[in-house]
Amino acid sequence: MSPASSSDLILTEAQRRDLLTQVSKTLDAYVLPERAVAIQQDIQQRLADDGYSDITSAQQLAHTLTVQLQELSQDPQLRLYFSPDPLPDLAPRAQPTPAELAQEQHRSSLRNFDINRLERLGGNIGYLGLYGLEAPEFAGDTLAAAFTFLAHTDALVIDLRHNSGGSPAMVALLCSYLLPPYPATHLNDLYWRDEDRTQQWWTIPHLPAPRYLEKPVYLLVHAGTGSAAEELAYTLQQLKRATVVGEATQGSAHPGRGFRLGDHFWMFVPTGRTINPISGTNWNGTGVIPDVKVPAELAQSTAQLKAIDGLLGAAQDAALVRELQQVSALVQRKLNQQRQDLISRLTQPGS
């Protein structure tokens, strides 16, 4: 490859054809074989018609192919990447050593295992802000402490708006806190095409902290909510255990891995597929569609108001009723101001 700039490379015809051939071959690992075949046929037809002959920039070719891959597959995770610097080996790693695991756990602990905010909101509503879903062996104790704190609240808001995913085992653990121990609940299946293996996820019968049962739960989401965080929202929505509030999520339901295609290109290929036992499908491409659709900036106030309205309808204690009424008025004023601010921002020139 010849240099074009510090962040790009110029491809020869032979290099371009070799890359396209590798992309086509790598699609053999894609979790949806029928779509893989359709994409491979499209690439071969374009090659026969010299459809890529005008593309010499490595960056442009990676972008063009990514657009085509995603259009044909309807899968936002299927993507070709270009790196101006030589790539490391992307082969699946062996199991990490105890020292590596300890170091990873320490780094995670500095972020409090992505359990970023825990609070009792007005009206006795719990709030749990999750920026990620770390593995239970790292975050399990901290999550148990969080649910101990939340145990006496009357409704719960879980904020996933800044959560791009993480561990499916953590999804199962968190769902277990919101669902009864018996009978166990079948949450999801994960089918791996390369191994022709289905991995099942179920709730856990024993937990080290109180379960949060028979109380309303609201999940806040938006376009940045991805992967395992979407699995959490979709699963609880299908089980009718939570109300999802906000904007449609990212639409990433197919886990996979990176494949190295030479020194400067690599490709992320989904090799697994989430299958919900209730819907028989997943949220890939569409995202999780909220039950209550509002801009992400308004999601927390909207969920809090809905929780307060529900609690007011059932409240018997006079002091609690007064608190709920006062908080409702405050949150409603806040929501009105947030709406005005959002409208002002969207109507400003250049917005």
Domain ranges of the chain: 2-82, 98-298, 305-346
User: Do 238 and 288 form a contact (C-beta atoms < 8 A)?
Assistant: no
Per mean pLDDT, which range of 87-91, 114-118, 122-126, 322-326 is the poorest?
87-91
Q: Which of 52-56, 94-98, 186-190 has the highest mean pLDDT?
A: 186-190
Looking at per-residue confidence, does 317 or 291 come out higher?
291
Mean pLDDT along residues 244-263: 94
Contact 188, 277 (CB under 8 A): yes
The region of weakest confidence among 60-69, 82-91, 201-210 is 82-91
Average pLDDT over residues 201-223: 97
Residue 266, φ and ψ in degrees, nearest 5:
-145, 160
Residue 4 has pLDDT above 60, yes or no: no
Helix (H, G, I), strand (E, B) or coil at 241: coil
User: Cβ distance 335 to 302 under 8 Å?
Assistant: yes
What mean pLDDT comes out for the span 173-202?
Answer: 96
Report, as an integer, the average pLDDT of 323-342.
96
Instruction: For residues 52-57, give the mean pLDDT.
Output: 90
Q: What is the predicted pLDDT for the residue at 316? A: 85
- What was the pLDDT predicted at 351? 60
pLDDT score, position 174: 98
CATH T-level assignment (fold) for domain 98-298: 2-enoyl-CoA Hydratase; Chain A, domain 1 (3.90.226)
- SS3 state at 132: coil
Nearest-5° Cα angle at 11, 6 to 12: 145
| Residues in CB range of 93: below 8 A, 6 or more apart | none
Q: What is the 3-state secondary structure (H, E, C) of 277-345?
A: CCCCCCCCCCCCCCCEECCHHHHHHHHHHHHHHHHHHHCCCHHHHHHHHHHHHHHHHHHHHHHHHHHHH
Cα of 327 vs its chain's centroid, Å: 32
- Express each pLDDT in 95-134 by its tens digit: 888 998 999 999 999 999 999 999 999 999 999 999 999 9
Q: What is the pLDDT of residue 6?
A: 63
211 burial class (0-12, 13-18, 19+ CB within 10 angstroms)? middle
Q: DSSP assignment, residue 31?
A: S
User: How remote is the C-alpha of 205 from its chain's centroid?
Assistant: 25
- The answer to whether the CB of 334 falls within 8 A of the CB of 301 is yes
CA distance 1 to 148: 58
- 3-state SS of 153-189 is CCEEEEECCCCCCECHHHHHHHHHHHCCCCCCCEEEE
Q: Is the pLDDT of residue 1 over 60?
A: no
pLDDT exceeds 60 at position 5: no
